Amino acid sequence: MEKRFSNILLYLSLAATLFLTGCAHEYNQVYKSSDYSYKYEYAKECFANGKYGFAVPLLQDLVTIEKGTSNAQECLYMLAMSEYGLGDYEAAAETFRKYYQSYPHGDYAEMASYYVGQSLYMSTPEPRLDQSQTVSAIAAFQEYRDLFPDGKLKGNAEQRLMELQDKLVEKEYLSAKLYYNLGSYFGNCTSGGNNYEACVITAQNALNDYPYTSMREDFSILIMKSKFELAQMSVEAKKVQRYQDAEDECYGFINEYPDSKERETAEKYIEKCKQFTKD
């Protein structure tokens, strides 16, 4: 409701601009006109000239009026593109989706399918925030690839998918790093366990979900450091096993990243771990 109210204010603001440019009388006549052919052509002209704020109210009427006619699908597509041009990406995604559902074999079917994902992509938040919109955008681009495997925007869709996946990976990395930074603090561990264990689990899950991520080494560093810290804070009964686990992790890290900036850290950890595992 708040979003729609904001859109109404935007359109009213743009309408006010019309008054200032001397076009108000003409636009008002067109908007109230029952000559739908004229209204349609005027809306097309507004759209072609990038006057999306003027086109949207006309097209919203025309979508209903022209339903069932040869102009119907073009009106719906122009409405979606106008909403996209205004930056109203939530409304645009809905309208593009409506177009494809209504005209799966229409003239603009491929573009509409692609722009569902593109609209959602444009409204995705920074990695620290909830990424449900990012997940929806990924699903939309994947659907586009499935529907149009040889589509002209296939390359664009694949590039967007990589960018969106990177955002999800970064979100997981920030979560894992937060657990590591919280360290021995137990105030947030209401269900048992501790932050180092949570860091390891979060990082390992991310590596399983995104095995080819460019942040693989970053996750591995967090896992290695967390396992060592976990061993240090363990009770006596668990110390040897956890130091052994940390030592194995360090060797595995060196083997996989022999030139890592954290190699020296891994080697120091190994020496400390051996004080408990050498027997």
Q: Return averaged pLDDT per consecutive 10 residues of the chain, 279 residues in all.
A: 55 54 71 88 95 94 94 97 97 98 97 98 95 96 97 97 96 96 70 81 96 96 97 92 97 98 97 89
Q: What pLDDT score was predicted for residue 267?
A: 97
**CA-to-CA dists, residue 190 to 97, 184, 198, 226, angstroms:** 42, 13, 12, 19
Q: What pLDDT score was predicted for residue 28?
A: 82
**CA-to-CA dists, residue 105 to 37, 112, 117, 138, 222, angstroms:** 25, 11, 18, 23, 49
Q: What pLDDT score was predicted for residue 32?
A: 85
Torsion of CA 269, 272, 274, 276, to 10 degrees: -130
DSSP H helices, 210-262, are 216-232, 236-256
Other residues' Cβ atoms within 10 Å of the Cβ of residue 43 = 28
Q: What pLDDT score was predicted for residue 27?
A: 79
Q: What pLDDT score was predicted for residue 192?
A: 45
**Are the C-beta atoms of residues 207 and 216 closer than 8 Å to each other?**
yes
Q: What pLDDT score was predicted for residue 4?
A: 54
Q: What pLDDT score was predicted for residue 13?
A: 61
pTM of this structure: 0.81
Tokens 């664009």, residue?
Answer: 156
Extended strands (E) in the chain: none
Q: Which of 165, 152, 75, 160 is CA-nearest to residue 117?
A: 160
Q: What pLDDT score was predicted for residue 2?
A: 53
Q: How far is CA 83 from the centre of its chain?
A: 19
